[in-house]
Amino acid sequence: MPRVKGFAGWPAEGSAKADGKALRGRVPRAEHARLDLDASRPDAIAAVEESSRGRLPELAPIRVGRMAATPFAFLRGSAGLMGHDLARTPVTGIRAQICGDAHAANFGLYGDARGGLVIDLNDFDETAQGPWEWDLKRLAASLVLAGREAGADEDTCRAAARDAAGAYRRTMRLLAKMPVLDAWNAIADEELVSHTDAHDLLGTLERVYEKARANTSGRFAAKSTEVTSDGGRRFVDAPPVLSRVPDAEAVAVATSLEQYVTTLPEDRLPLLARYAVHDVAFRVVGTGSVGTRSYVVLLLDHRGEPLVLQVKEARPSALAPHLRAAGFEPAEPLAVPGGHSTDGHATGGRAAGGRAVGGRAVGAAGHEGRRVVMGQKRMQVVSDNLLGWTTVDGRDYQVRQFRNRKGSVDPAALAADQVDDYARMTGALLARAHSHSADPRLIAGYCGKNEELDEAVATFAVRYADLTEADHADLVTAIRSGRIAAEMGV
């Protein structure tokens, strides 16, 4: 039979499992314990300052203050610095769509299109195609730091890192043995606790689920908006986190939704057609993204019920400069879902100034918002059904639902006997996410049956946690000396 573009062909040549196993000869699994630093590594303060380039300078002290709170918080804000370090560690060369920032706090709950809750990776600002090992090592190191912050002893923290790697390895082996269609959506949420033996987490997960169900656009709008004289609603200033913006800026953001809808599947357009744009505000985002431009857009339906969209600046991945150093050339752009232009479809939503939401498709090549959205869709089992991208004043943005029943476990607040349960759960979720773009047979063949990789990753994680604590201490010293400004507690 002729080969068809997009299909690998059948029967496959060779054995992916054997190919993965053969990679152990070039990169022994024990080598993943290595952490080789060199003179090119920037110090912590230089790294923080470099990562702030292009961000809003008035928000830099907030970002520094958040990173200075704890070593785990420092790690959360320093994906680029860790990318520099990871580029000097061994890699197998297996390419996967990676999160790029797979620390332990970037897993959580969110709503699906039918009102259910899903647990998965949920932050993709740094996503790229690169080494699967980078995500696994960042997760493992973050678990050591979170465990230390939670008060767990050192053996427990190391065990959490080892368990995350072990769960990743075992889950990849399980997926490798399953039919492809079954493996793609494997380990449903209701099976996750038993699959990862995370029974000590049940009470915590139930509380997070209950909180997430109430975390909606309606609740956010009720707290953050007020009724206007014409019966609409508008955001209320709550600086420095939520701030009203000048009319011209609000119009630019609202008008960009004309481009955004062209990046959505056509079947979403009638849904958005039943909303009108009422207001736009600026909202400061989480530790790693503080200083980037991020807006919330208030839309109301015919009953006055709200839908809030987040229009968040998408900068180049912090890993981009380091991927080539690790031998990973930039990948070809991912295909646009549907590949369509929605020109001519009236959606009925009004931007500020009464303009209808509609327009021509946003250029896809090199668009950072598209990179984030497509990376997210590649890794998650189910994604936000309103994910898209746009451009505002020449800058790339991603667009998504805000407060879409999101909830998360704070790994630094877990009891000591829950840290390893959470580690196994996140390790399994990471394996599932990677398996959508990398052949699980190949990774499973490399990882193998024994715990050699688990131990190596745990050793690396402890070493990197120690390094991060030293970096954090340097940042705190620099703040106290006045070398760098910080606004604490915001």
DSSP structure string for 356-400: ES--PPPP-TT-HHHHHHHHHHHH-SS--TT-EEEEETTEEEEEE
Instruction: Give the Cα separation of 387 and 399 in Å (integer).
Output: 6
Task: With CA atoms as reference, report the closest residue to 95 among 468, 439, 386, 488.
Answer: 439
Question: Which pLDDT tens digit goes with each residue over 126-156?
Answer: 999 999 999 999 999 999 999 999 999 999 9
| 11, part of any domain | no
**Same domain, yes or no, for 187 and 275?**
no
Residue partners of 380: CB distance under 8 A and separation at least 6? 118, 120, 121, 433
Count CB atoms within 10 A of the CB of residue 465: 26
Question: Which pLDDT tens digit goes with each residue over 412-435?
Answer: 999 999 999 999 999 999 999 999
| 325, part of any domain | no
Report the mean per-residue pLDDT for the chain: 90
Domain boundary among 351, 378, 401: 401
CB 63, CB 49: distance < 8 Å: no
Residue identified by tokens 């923080």 is 48
Domain boundary among 372, 401, 430: 401
Domain boundary among 377, 401, 425: 401
**Same domain, yes or no, for 428 and 354?**
no
**Same domain, yes or no, for 199 and 224?**
no
Question: Which pLDDT tens digit goes with each residue over 193-242?
Answer: 888 999 999 999 999 999 999 999 899 999 999 999 988 899 999 999 99
Segments forming the whole domain that contains residue 282: 216-317+334-401
**Same domain, yes or no, for 273 and 364?**
yes
**Same domain, yes or no, for 198 and 230?**
no
Q: Residue 189's pLDDT is what?
A: 74
Q: Residue 65's pLDDT is what?
A: 96
**Tally of domains within the chain:** 2
Q: Residue 341's pLDDT is what?
A: 32
**Same domain, yes or no, for 47 and 87?**
yes
Q: Is the pLDDT of residue 332 over 70?
A: no
| 328, part of any domain | no
Tokens of 35: 């952490």
Q: Residue 8's pLDDT is what?
A: 65
**Same domain, yes or no, for 126 and 138?**
yes
| 487, part of any domain | no
| 489, part of any domain | no
Q: Residue 337's pLDDT is what?
A: 39
Task: With CA atoms as reference, report the closest residue to 150 among 476, 406, 420.
Answer: 420
**Same domain, yes or no, for 94 and 160?**
yes
Q: Residue 489's pLDDT is what?
A: 83
**Same domain, yes or no, for 362 and 234?**
yes
**Whole-number percent of the chain with pLDDT over 90:** 78
Task: Using the CB atoms, write b or e for 284-303: b if 16+ within 10 Å.
Answer: bbebbbbbbbbbbbbbbeee
Instruction: Give the pLDDT band (50/70/90) at residue 346.
Output: very low
Instruction: Give the pLDDT band (50/70/90) at residue 188.
Output: confident
**Same domain, yes or no, for 228 and 81?**
no
Question: Which pLDDT tens digit goes with each residue over 363-386?
Answer: 456 899 999 999 999 999 999 999
CB 259, CB 390: distance < 8 Å: yes
Q: Residue 354's pLDDT is what?
A: 31
| 5, part of any domain | no
| 329, part of any domain | no
Q: Residue 7's pLDDT is what?
A: 66
Q: DSSP secondary-structure letter at 11?
A: S
| 324, part of any domain | no
**Same domain, yes or no, for 156 and 240?**
no
Highest mean pLDDT, choosing among 52-61, 198-207, 338-347, 446-455: 446-455
Output the pTM of the full model. 0.91
Instruction: Give the Cα separation of 224 and 222 in Å (integer).
Output: 6
**Same domain, yes or no, for 193 and 223?**
no
